[in-house]
Amino acid sequence: MATLEDIGVSALINILSAFAFLLAFAVLRIQPVNDRVYFSKWYLSGSRRSPRHSGNTIGKFVNLNFWTYLGFLNWMPGALKMSQSKLIEHAGLDSAVYLRIYLLGLKIFAPMTILSILILVPVNVSSSTLNFLKRELVVSDIDRISISNVSPGSQRFWFHLSLAYLYTLWTCYMLYKEYNTIAFMRLHYLASQHRRVDQFTVSVKNIPIASGHTISETVDHFFRTNHPNHYIGHQVVYNGNKFARLVRKKERLRNWLDYYQLKYERHPEKKRPTTRRGFFGLCGERVDSIDYYTQRINVLEKRIQSERQKILNDSKGALPVAFVSFDSRWGAAVCAQTQQSKNPTLWLTDWAPEPRDVYWQNLAIPFVSLTIRRLIITVSVFLLVFFYMIPIAFVQSLANLEGLERVAPFLRTVIELKFIKSFLQGFLPGLTLKVFLYFLPALLMVMSKVEGHLSLSKLERKTAEKYYYFMLVNVFLGSIVTGTAFEQLHSFLHQSPTQIPRTIGVSIPMKATFFVTYIMVDGWAGIAGEILRLKPLVIFHLKNMFLVKTERDRENAMDPGSIELSNSLPTLQLYFLLGLVYAVVTPILLPFILVFFGFAYLVYRHQIINVYNQEYESVAAFWPHVHGRIIASLLISQFLLLGLLSTKKAADSTPLLIVLPVLTIWFHKYCKSRFEPAFRKYPLEEAMARDTMERAEEPNLNLMAYLADAYLHPIFQSFDDVEMGEVRVDKNLTDIASPIDSELSSPSPLHYVYSYEVEP
Amino acid sequence: MATLEDIGVSALINILSAFAFLLAFAVLRIQPVNDRVYFSKWYLSGSRRSPRHSGNTIGKFVNLNFWTYLGFLNWMPGALKMSQSKLIEHAGLDSAVYLRIYLLGLKIFAPMTILSILILVPVNVSSSTLNFLKRELVVSDIDRISISNVSPGSQRFWFHLSLAYLYTLWTCYMLYKEYNTIAFMRLHYLASQHRRVDQFTVSVKNIPIASGHTISETVDHFFRTNHPNHYIGHQVVYNGNKFARLVRKKERLRNWLDYYQLKYERHPEKKRPTTRRGFFGLCGERVDSIDYYTQRINVLEKRIQSERQKILNDSKGALPVAFVSFDSRWGAAVCAQTQQSKNPTLWLTDWAPEPRDVYWQNLAIPFVSLTIRRLIITVSVFLLVFFYMIPIAFVQSLANLEGLERVAPFLRTVIELKFIKSFLQGFLPGLTLKVFLYFLPALLMVMSKVEGHLSLSKLERKTAEKYYYFMLVNVFLGSIVTGTAFEQLHSFLHQSPTQIPRTIGVSIPMKATFFVTYIMVDGWAGIAGEILRLKPLVIFHLKNMFLVKTERDRENAMDPGSIELSNSLPTLQLYFLLGLVYAVVTPILLPFILVFFGFAYLVYRHQIINVYNQEYESVAAFWPHVHGRIIASLLISQFLLLGLLSTKKAADSTPLLIVLPVLTIWFHKYCKSRFEPAFRKYPLEEAMARDTMERAEEPNLNLMAYLADAYLHPIFQSFDDVEMGEVRVDKNLTDIASPIDSELSSPSPLHYVYSYEVEP
């Protein structure tokens, strides 16, 4: 048990390290040589091409203007300066809404902190249970200001009870307001945005294969029949994995060619560079590099050509998936929200994700396979969450010194050295754990990919969900109840449902010090480390030194990163959970959380403005999940408080707490029906209004041309423009303009009339 | 504990009483005087107007043809004769699918019975645990053929385990096939049916009130804007409760008038009948009855007229609900499945129920009120299910003799008689319980109505759901674990999740005898009682004797009843639960259940063909619920078997059982996504095909006229034809044909073109 002084020392250390990070950041960010690391967003948006620097050669690499070193915190007001609407324009709605989560944390916890400190701390301190006990056992100072200090059966628990009610109401109120705002922002964003291809496009999965007809013909016939007034065309998805491999290889060869050409041009006096033809350029005949690569590229070019022809001509190259385009948002909204086929597992329509958001590999998974995959992944996630420690312990038991000696006997003499031995013994188990935890998010992402979601944004959301479960069980519960998650599961299965919240509830006040330290390390110093971007910085300079051959490589070496919702949302939600659980129990935790939310808000605002690359725009599609997790945290906090109070013999007040979860669940259901459709569907009223406006503004808009290439498989994007044109002709004109063969033509006597042709 | 002989005796009694019922039925049904009770369906369908009888006067009332008495079971082949397609035509798809549930029961349990008796009974009997114990405690014979007879830790449990797997697979397979068939039947029924108004109509709730405009104008403007190509008109719903009261009163008066007119016409020689004007005809001035009623009807007629004018003219009479009609099934399908407004709580569209299925009173509940009502009802149902016994016990404690004497001291002398006292003491508590249970379905129906569902079919489904929970807790669990439901809840909350299935699982084999008796009483004799229809028979004759004044009254006195899904589904599902739970544990229960399913199938088939009135057609919308409950029963049976085996120390085999619930849940999810959309949505492919066909067949169809009166509030249905015409003109022509005022007219430049006018 830590005393208040211990926590003070720990806080000092963490604050100092946070300051050290901030200082380092302040120095590093103004060096021109680091410009691409700390201002990559501006390079990506195209508003910066090269670092700003003073004239001379050294100035290219080091900032010599010493005045700029003084205001080392001046990035903070800079980060705050940009207005929300500007921010949405600059970094997308996702980023802006992500930042609002931190603000929401501040809004929820600031009044709670004040109230708790004004009311609960005096109530707890003036109780005297632990003073009596103090002689017998060591009690931490933090426990004196927590609920543990109130004697069992005391009437003072009414304070805690009424604050629990007040906090629940307050949290729900803030959540409601926030959901309302964000739903409005989403609709406003969708409405005010310029035309987007995904507003006119619907993804169709599980297209049945009709014998004798290509996928393209089937799609065309189906939508011409069932959406005669609005369908204008479609884009077939090709299985282009082999093609993509060839294109990547060509890229690599061209890069080498550029490198040698540059090398030769810089020093034309030297002899032309040569390369060995054999294995990785290590052996074989020596040839002229430039000629050699030019020739290899030409050969590859021909293979790419023929592969492309093969894909486009082979009817089996097309996957049973398509992107279908409509002449209006209304038509697309109708198609995305309705069931198409009598067999509900065929012709599954949904909104097409943004083109850059599509995860192409998953487009071709059939329905039955999908359901089986989900079963397997659900079971795996359950096992992963509860049995994660078992393989780690197993590997740790292998990765000890005896194991190493057995595998590599020649190391024995080294290992037996005392210094190295003790170092390894302390180091190996920790390393295995670290390695496992490091790969966890990647592992979860792979699992989500196996589940078969179609868009990157959904993959991130699903990964975030899995990670949240992991954090909840292994970090939150794992810290409170000692023992591995599996042992907890076992003990929970053998306890009564009323006993579980009690067991956990009782341990909660005792773990407050641990979580305070956790918040300081992970939330304060960790966030300061985030702004320093040490890893991308080092990697950028390493790449710059060893790998970068051309300007294009330098572009690639720049790793702006992104918000990475799959990682950041679960950690963020853990802070909400801690805050809500401890708000009534140990209020001294709240100021620490408040500092985290404030500081992280500043840091992430700065990073989003200056660094992160926006990979896609899901228009805040993650918000319902954030909302749901905060509600879950609220429920957990209520049940734990219920368990805690029931051990405190507060018989008068405890039963009143049961009302809270019921109300919270109802509130969640209400919000779900009130707001969630705004995130899942696209109202026809909105679609029609936008369509009408657009037709009035641009009566001669050629939507078909606008949509033609929107969902071209990325493998075709690497073509030159001429080739692109060819593909377009190959694919779309035949699909759209050719008369469909008589057998397939629609039995309906309806003419094929576009709605804008019906207009006067 | 009952021996096999006890059960034999009980079976004999029940079989005899079932035969007695059947005999009584055989005699009663062929009496012409009972014709309206036993063949009411034929009267309703119009194919029978009066009983078939032999010529003379006695023959009108009693069947004198003694040959017909011989074949007293000849209704059975008669019930089976009608083919399924004929049955669907005769009694609707709901009835046909309802009967399939019994067939499904037979299909699931027949192979199980054979396998269990061939394999499990020998395995259980040849184990000898209970033989050793027999000397010490009395063991029933039934326990000897149950799983209790297998000694703990025996390898014989592998038989039970593999049969549990086999039964789960078999049940899932049958469920899958059945779901597939019924989904197909539903789609086929929808496709092959003639035009139905609900295929073109969508119900719209929560219409926002625009100041300065009537509801009708708002609806018209909204749909003209957002569904310009398909919207053709709408029907406003009026708040007609007062009007309905007046109309009912007029009906009553006209009935009396008919009665007196008939009376006078039959005996014109007597003086004209007279009535007293005062309180219920008991006091006041004596007047000529015919004149009096004619005059009162005229007065009422005028009030009805003015009330109707008031409703139609008063803008506040219209509720914020409407039925919106489209020119095609496609248009209606699109509107029903999409979100209309930016605010997802406004303009809520859904398929309109069939006109006779609409529950008009619930149309006007606003969104927020709905969510609050659902919260309240959910909590109430929970309390009702678990605390049902408490008020009963309370009333029972009041309704004892002392209580009666205190309330009515004058009864003391009677009550103190010994015979009456003992009778009352045994009778009162039972009576209170019976009264409470009798009102339970009605109470649950009221709860469902408060929840605010729009259609009778949904109300029945929701009531069935609540009743199922009640049966599960109070009948199934209540019989297995002794004590009230509340005590069970209390003990479950204080047991671990692994302990609960054990506690219940262990008691299961012991309760087999009880359930065998239950099945015989409720399932055999009860079903035979159902076919006798004693209550409707008695009530019909009582009404005939005392109340029936006119031929119209005789029509009304006939109470054909209906399947009453809210009652019959939960009882039926209880049998599935019993069968699945006992299939592995005490297989001797299975033959009893098999007899129930077979017999009940025959009886209900007969009743559906000859008696029951079809109140509405929901096109088998209840099937997903039936499927879900059988899956739930399967899960319950698996968990209980798990609990039972874990007490039997069958450590090898028990863990393997955990796979079963996971697979079952996955199967349920798969079925849900595979089939459920067919019950919730209407595929556009189907809608378009039907539309196209219809347009080809009837190019000049005037849909507007067809739909005009479809959703007229039932209060207007009692008008004479002339009046109806008036209403139609008042309401629809103004709504559909009048030019909307310029301010409201659509901002879209689109012309208002019906799609059949676009056709060549």
User: What is the chain B residue with the closest CA to A500?
Assistant: B496
Mean per-residue pLDDT, B390-404: 63
* Beta strand ranges found along A208-249 (DSSP E): 231-238
State yes or no: pLDDT of B425 exceeds 70. Answer: no
Minimal Cβ distance to A669: which of B339, B371, B681: B371
Position B685 confidence tier, pLDDT thresholds 50, 70, 90:
confident
Question: B432-478: per-residue pLDDT in tens?
Answer: 667 777 788 888 999 998 888 888 888 999 999 999 998 888 878 87
Minimal Cβ distance to A496: which of B493, B677, B696: B493
Question: How close B219 comes to chain A (CA, Å)?
Answer: 13
Long-range contacts of A43-51 (CB under 8 A, 24+ apart): A43/A555, A43/A558, A44/A560, A44/A613, A45/A90
Question: How close B344 comes to chain A (CA, Å)?
Answer: 6
List the single range of A52-66, B472-486, B652-666 with lowest mean pLDDT: A52-66
Would you state the structure tokens that stand for residue B684, as one six-digit string?
């556009």
C-alpha span between B21 and B152 (Å, rounded): 46
Question: B43-53: per-residue pLDDT in tens?
Answer: 777 766 666 55
Contact B688 A751 (CB under 8 A): no
State yes or no: pLDDT of B701 exceeds 90. Answer: no
DSSP summary character for residue B199:
G
A231 contacts chain B (CB < 8 A): no
Long-range contacts of A212-218 (CB under 8 A, 24+ apart): A213/A744, A214/A315, A214/A318, A215/A315, A215/A318, A215/A319, A215/A320, A215/A322, A216/A318, A216/A322, A216/A734, A216/A735, A217/A740, A217/A741, A217/A744
Question: A12-51: per-residue pLDDT in tens?
Answer: 888 888 888 888 887 777 777 777 777 777 777 776 666 6
What are the residue ranges spanned by the domains of chain A?
A: 4-194+369-682, 210-366
- Which of B 490-509 lie inside 8 A of A, CB atoms? 492-499
Contact B673 A379 (CB under 8 A): no
Smallest Cα–Cα separation from A312: which of A745, A729, A743? A729
Mean per-residue pLDDT, B371-391: 84
Question: A654-693: per-residue pLDDT in tens?
Answer: 778 888 999 999 999 989 888 888 888 888 888 888 888 8
Position B135 confidence tier, pLDDT thresholds 50, 70, 90:
very low
Mean per-residue pLDDT, A74-103: 84
Radius of gyration of chain A (CA): 31
Contact A758 B758 (CB under 8 A): yes
Question: A564-588: per-residue pLDDT in tens?
Answer: 888 888 888 999 999 999 998 888 8
Classify each residue of B696-711 as buried b or exposed e, where b means 16 or more C-beta atoms within 10 Å of its C-beta. Answer: eeeeeeebbeebbbbb
Question: B302-325: per-residue pLDDT in tens?
Answer: 888 888 777 767 766 677 888 888
Please name the residue that has the structure tokens 């060096």. A31
A677 contacts chain B (CB < 8 A): yes
B339 contacts chain A (CB < 8 A): yes
Would you state the structure tokens that stand for residue A162, as one six-digit string?
């009424």
Percent of chain A residues past pLDDT 90, beyond the cut = 12
Disruptive mutation site among A347, A750, A757 for chain B (greatest number of B CBs within 10 Å) = A750
Disruptive mutation site among A204, A675, A748, A759 for chain B (greatest number of B CBs within 10 Å) = A748
Contacts of B341 in chain A (CB under 8 A): 683, 685
**Helix extents (H) in A314-417:** 329-337, 367-387, 389-398, 401-407, 412-415
User: What is the chain A residue with the closest CA to B371?
Assistant: A670
- Which of B 563-602 lie inside 8 A of A, CB atoms? none
Do residues A736 and A232 make contact, with C-beta atoms less than 8 angstroms apart?
Answer: yes
Contact B344 A760 (CB under 8 A): no
User: What is the chain B residue with the closest CA to A337?
Assistant: B338
For residue A152, count other CB atoms closer than 10 A to its CB. Answer: 11
Contact A340 B683 (CB under 8 A): yes
Would you state the structure tokens that stand for residue B461, as one six-digit string?
């489904």
State yes or no: pLDDT of A735 exceeds 70. Answer: no
Contacts of B339 in chain A (CB under 8 A): 337, 677, 681-684
Mean per-residue pLDDT, B284-299: 80
Position B79 confidence tier, pLDDT thresholds 50, 70, 90:
confident
C-alpha span between A723 and B180 (Å, rounded): 49
Contacts of B452 in chain A (CB under 8 A): none
| Residue B275, beta-bridge partner list | B287
B659 contacts chain A (CB < 8 A): no
A126 contacts chain B (CB < 8 A): no
Query: What one-letter code names the amino acid at B120?
Result: L
Disruptive mutation site among A172, A192, A369, A371 for chain B (greatest number of B CBs within 10 Å) = A371
Contacts of B676 in chain A (CB under 8 A): 344
Question: A317-345: per-residue pLDDT in tens?
Answer: 677 888 888 888 888 888 888 888 888 78
Phi-psi region of B51 (alpha: psi -120 to 50; beta: other; left: phi over 0): beta
Contacts of A686 in chain B (CB under 8 A): 342
**A456 or A654: whose pLDDT is higher?**
A456
**Helix extents (H) in A399-482:** 401-407, 412-415, 418-451, 456-470, 478-480
A-to-B residue pairs, Cβ atoms closer than 8 angstroms: 160
Question: How close A664 comes to chain B (CA, Å)?
Answer: 11
Contacts of B345 in chain A (CB under 8 A): 673-674
Radius of gyration of chain B (CA): 31
State yes or no: pLDDT of B734 exceeds 50. Answer: no
Contacts of A681 in chain B (CB under 8 A): 338-339, 344
B674 contacts chain A (CB < 8 A): yes
User: What is the chain B residue with the closest CA to A346?
Assistant: B674
On average, the pLDDT of chain A sits at 77
Q: In degrees rounded to 5, what are phi and psi of residue B204?
A: -120, 125
Contacts of B756 in chain A (CB under 8 A): none
Minimal Cβ distance to A751: which of B669, B695, B760: B760
Could you give the count of Cα atoms lying within 13 Å of A605 in the half-sphere of its Cβ?
Answer: 23
Minimal Cβ distance to A685: which of B226, B334, B682: B226
Smallest Cα–Cα separation from A715: which of A302, A316, A242, A205? A242
A759 contacts chain B (CB < 8 A): yes
Contacts of B758 in chain A (CB under 8 A): 750-751, 753, 758
A19 contacts chain B (CB < 8 A): no
On average, the pLDDT of chain B sits at 77
What per-residue confidence (pLDDT) applies to B576? 94
- Which of B 308-337 lie inside 8 A of A, CB atoms? 330, 333-334, 337
- Which of A 172-191 lie inside 8 A of B, CB atoms? 187
Count of residues for chain B?
A: 760
Disruptive mutation site among A680, A685, A752 for chain B (greatest number of B CBs within 10 Å) = A685
User: What is the chain B residue with the closest CA to A747?
Assistant: B692
